[in-house]
Amino acid sequence: MRPLTQVPLLDLSALHAELGDELASAALRVLGSERVLLGPELAAFEQAWAAQVGAAHGVGVGNGLDALALGLRAFDVGPGDEVLVPAHTFIATWLAVVHVGATPVPVDVSDRTGLWDADAVGAAVGPRTRAMIPVHLYGHPVDLDPLLAIARRHGLVVLDDAAQAHGARYRGRPVGGLCDATTWSFYPGKNLGAVGDGGAVTTSDPAVADRLRSLRNYGSTEKYVHDEIGWNSRLDELQAALLSVKLRRLDEHNARRAVVAERYAHALGDCGLTLPGTAPWARHAWHQYVVRTPHRDALHDHLAALGVQTVIHYPVPPHHQGAFATLLTHGELPVAEALAREVLSLPMGPHLSEQEQVHVIDSIRSFRP
């Protein structure tokens, strides 16, 4: 066991040690099979994942960015279209829009939640708006019903980004089957993570699912017959088999994350930090435990000196990234910029021990700005 003065943000090695025999068995099963792409492991995982999140279809792809871009393409979003995106999110949400030739239009988030609220989104809809991408950031679902009402009024596609929300629930229903389609990342650090990269799109529209299966495979549903311009973006058999093992433990691991979040909330309420909350209609997946403080950088350095790893999600908002410097103009986005200055993610995961968490809490409580 590592010294208590070294607490990682997420302990992937402990996760893989806990599931080691099952993961090894799954990997050997794939190595002994005749298929490494588009085979029975993928089909089984797609079916299980779709059922888990309340959708009729799951389509595995290469990564979360491809899931977003292919999802937009499946609805024919492209050049000349605008897509509403949150101002506070990982850059992949914006990149996917550009990859299909559309224009991202940033909408600032709520200062209280860091997520979208309907009034801001409704005000941003314009004549070229074709779609919106709500992001269930850090594991807390967005309030979708008002956004879906806006989309219905304006004829917009709603493609929600659930890369950080595996197992989250909205008004008693799992995130993943509530919008036109939902995109997922299985990056290793996610609540449901591959041992490598991966992604998926879930939907209950069979035509969209069929289009996605074609787009991910060179625009083909029959070998050497290509009906449209496609991608090479397929979740491979090995990752699908490993994800199937981890999926069986997702609810248990998320429950353990919730215990960690409860300990933080109980112990840090009087430390001058703004702590994350959970809406009464939501079940938080606790992908990250993100606090806010105007002394963020000093707290980050203080914790690092005591062996506590923290991460800033995200220090440079997308609209200040060089990648978008010549692609778009934007108005004021004050909340996104404040979050970039103030948020700090604390160690979180199903294998963070109580003893390690006590060290994190004691280290925070010893901080003097």
Q: Given a cut of 50, is residue 285 above it in pLDDT?
A: yes
What single string gives the DSSP state of each residue in 156-211? -EEEEE-TT-TT-EETTEETTSSSSEEEEE--TTSSS--SS--EEEEES-HHHHHH
What number is the average pLDDT over the span 111-125?
96
Assign 331 a pLDDT band (cuts: 50, 70, 90): confident
Tell me the CA end-to-end span of the chain in Å, nearest whole number. 32
Q: Given a cut of 80, is residue 5 above it in pLDDT?
A: no
Q: Quick one: the chain helix, strand, coil %, rounded to 5? A: 40, 15, 45
Question: Most distant CA pair in the chain: distance in Å?
Answer: 65
- pLDDT number for residue 329: 67
Give CA–CA dist 151/130, Å, rounded: 9
What number is the average pLDDT over the span 106-116?
97
- pLDDT number for residue 325: 83
Summary mean pLDDT of the chain: 96
- pLDDT number for residue 332: 82
Q: Given a cut of 80, is residue 330 above it in pLDDT?
A: no
pLDDT tens for residues 15-74? 999 999 999 999 999 999 999 999 999 999 999 999 999 999 999 999 999 999 999 999
Assign 350 a pLDDT band (cuts: 50, 70, 90): very high
Q: Given a cut of 70, is residue 301 above it in pLDDT?
A: yes
Q: Given a cut of 80, is residue 327 above it in pLDDT?
A: no
What distance lies between CA 214 and its chain's CA centroid? 24
pLDDT tens for residues 198-247? 999 999 999 999 999 999 999 998 999 999 999 999 999 999 999 999 99
- pLDDT number for residue 1: 42
| Torsional class of 28: left (φ above 0), alpha (ψ -120 to 50), beta (otherwise) | alpha
Q: Given a cut of 80, is residue 146 above it in pLDDT?
A: yes
Assign 4 a pLDDT band (cuts: 50, 70, 90): low
Q: Given a cut of 50, is residue 150 above it in pLDDT?
A: yes
pLDDT tens for residues 166-208? 999 999 999 999 999 999 999 999 999 999 999 999 999 999 9
Q: Given a cut of 60, is residue 2 above it in pLDDT?
A: no
**pLDDT-above-90 percentage for the chain:** 95
- pLDDT number for residue 114: 97
Half-sphere exposure of 135 (CA within 13 A, CB side): 27
* Residue keyed to tokens 């304006």: 154
